[in-house]
Structure 1
Amino acid sequence: MKPFGYLRPDSVAEAVRAVAAHPGARFLGGGTNLVDLMKLGVETPGVLVDVTRLPLDRTEPTPDGGLRVGATVRNSDLAAHPLVRERYPVLSQALLAGASGQLRNIATTGGNLLQRTRCPYFQDVSKPCNKRAPGTGCPAREGAHRDLAVLGHSESCVATHPSDLSAALAALDATVVLHGPEGERTVPVTGFHRLPGENPDQDTVIRPGELITGVVLPAPPEGSAQLYRKVRDRASYAFALVSVAAVLTVRDGRVQHAALAFGGLAHRPWRATAAEAVLRGATATTETFARAASAELAAARPLRDNAFKVDLARRLTVAALTELTAPATA
């Protein structure tokens, strides 16, 4: 057992000051990822700053028809929220596809965004890992990489981001609200998580001392249909091999709006902009969906044991979009 300090601030500003005053401190939400990593020795914070009592636990409509979700809103509460179920079903579906009911009851919105990879080399401190110890190497490239990235990876890292919620938020064009020593700023979810490049230890663009205080969802596109589909090795309690979040508007048989994001394929939720470009203005048919998926996955660089993910992602995309547009294509 490695000792650590524990603080429970009364305000966001106090929480930010507490982390600034203790280098290496970590904010503590539900702890469903952080505490596990502390047990493994991957994370060794000297101080935990508990933010669960801060007034960040509300889900409220915004004046422009969107929704603001506080950082400490529990996953189970967010999935069940009437406005989420009615207007953002892809978000509710993604949350319910993740973890177990017990974990969803404690995990938070902000913590979900900050989940770290489940790459076995990252989680094993006896092994080298550029993400955990920069410069030590990436044994996953030649080792156990079946579950790892096929898009956007680098020589330094082939890890995948595990969050279901993040993929749905990326398809919904959500924005992350951050509060730090320099004040408040916002970052699009699509730009919040980083690709590994030469610095895979940096998961996000979050600055030292910044706290996620909320996520803002814009109003959903008028007439859109939404769907989240996830393929995993077992029916529940497993991370995605591939997942897809889709938001689509079809009028007179043609796609007017398309937003797609993949999970399980990259170091961050992968917004499928090439696929979206093929879809917009095209007829809503399985042939179009297959062309869109192929356009996106042309950039894939599978490793020895995970090439199956490319075909799986293609098939899942076509199946999800066909299901989503069934009334329009019937």
Structure 2
Amino acid sequence: GDARGAGRPTGERSGRPTGDARGAGRPGEARRDSGYRGTGNPAADRYAAKKSGAGKPRQKPSGPRAFGGERFGKDLGPVRRPKAARTSRPADELDMHNPDGVRLQKVMASAGVASRRVCEEMILDGRVEVDGTIVRELGVRVVPSEVSIHVDGMRLQLNEDLKYYVFNKPRGVISTMEDPEGRPSIGNFLKNKNKNERLFHVGRLDAETEGLLLLTNDGELTNRLTHPSYEVPKTYYVQVRGPMGPGIGAQMKEGIELEDGISKVDSFKLIDSTPGHILVEVVLHSGKNRVVRRLFDAVGHPVERLVRTQIGPIRLNDQRQGSIRVLGRQEVGHLLASVGL
């Protein structure tokens, strides 16, 4: 037993340095005790010490951790930083707050804006107005039928009794709900459940004109969409005989004298051309009777086919002719916003 350590310097045993000898050969460097005890191989010890951080001063946190957030990583998710302090008043001090109402974020989610969680973020970001006041508190309760709510400037339609439809009118159909002469009318295309609703058609299309008609029981919207002061743009596809001489588009933009005054288009664009026929897109906000047909008659290109494809923000797209579809909530919001509702 006494011979095991023979020939070895005091403080060494089995080739492993003792505590006093661990830092030998590294003057001026204090090793941090990381639990590592060495192997006896100098190169291996230096590598292991480097990996464990021994001998390196402790650094201050930087990046996300310095701001109290979580380290960004694939497994930990994105950085979360504290929200800036808000200076808005408590919910119960706001004029529109009704303790017997429904939470604002729930009303928004029910109106199809987004999930309730996203609606809460919208409120905190100041993107929601109630009766003209920006709300930044999650505790606000409202009675939907008694308030006006706007999100990013777009009004939410909260009255479930108001209906909004798009009808793709075929040629030969009269723009009335019923026709005493028995001609095809809008009412012929309404389903049984819609016939009990008192609907108005917004504007008119003559019997030979096809395309988009709005149907609604919202009287205020109907008045604004048809009133000239709101200048709601309408888009038409017009097929005429070709070729068409130069300058026709510029002439229509400048204005053409008709029997009831000067009328003009907002834009004029050539869409397609085939031998003997031309397809043109025009946009105008005039509500005069048969104004598109009369404009093209005035420049010597009588209309062969006329289709209205858009009113304000509402598009016909690929909706089947003769069909009626319900407007989506966002479409209704954009439509209301276009006339200041």
TM-score with structure 2 setting the length: 0.19
Higher relative CO (Cα under 8 Å, sequence separation at least 6) belongs to 1
Larger helix fraction of residues: 1
Which of the pair has more CA radius of gyration? Answer: 2
